Amino acid sequence: MFARMRSQNYRSFLAPDVTTGQAGTINCGDLLLVEDTWGVAFNATVAIGDAIPVGSSVVLIYNCDKIMVVKTAGQGTAIPCGEHVYVVPTTLEVYGAATKADPADVCIGICTEPAVADDVLVEIDLKGDSMTDQA
């Protein structure tokens, strides 16, 4: 899963040890949960979609008014502009509120450009630090 920023208006923090000892690979652009904040992993020396080396510094972009994220593959559902966007914590699948079925799924933002059923990406207003308590 990867993401692209479409705005220079963002907030982030350095999470230097996030890849140390991780069981799986973290790619630049992956959605991550660091403590209680959802965000997008970034490392300036790694291309989007490529693995961040274990032990490398990771910047977590947790708030961005226009960022493209991968929506759930094969979902076949559209996400209209203004709809809340959710992530499944265990699989990192991203989908719109119309298909929300599990209360454990976390709201990470609001769709800013409509995504049709066949779209792979969706542009959202990422609020990984403040949307987690929204319905």
Whole-angstrom distance, CA of residue 12 vs CA of residue 43 = 12
| Residue 27 DSSP class | B
CB 80 within 8 A of CB 114: yes
Look up the CATH superfamily of 67-127: Head decoration protein D (2.40.300.10)
Average pLDDT, the chain: 79
Note the pLDDT tens digit of each residue in 50-92. 888 877 778 888 899 888 887 876 556 789 999 999 988 888 8
What pTM did the predictor assign?
0.78
pLDDT, average across residues 108-121: 89
Sketch the domain layout of the chain as residue ranges. Answer: 3-62, 67-127
pLDDT, average across residues 101-109: 88
| Model pLDDT, residue 4 | 58
Choice between 94 and 11, residue whose per-residue pLDDT is larger:
94
Sign of the dihedral defined by the CA atoms of residues 95, 101, 107, 113, in that order: positive
- Highest mean pLDDT pick, 45-54, 77-86, 97-106, 115-124: 77-86
Q: Kindly tell me the burial class for residue 33, based on how many C-beta atoms sit within 10 Å of its own C-beta (0-12, 13-18, 19 or more).
A: middle
pLDDT above 70 for 8? no
Q: Which secondary-structure segment (H or E) carries 40?
A: strand 37-42
| Model pLDDT, residue 1 | 43
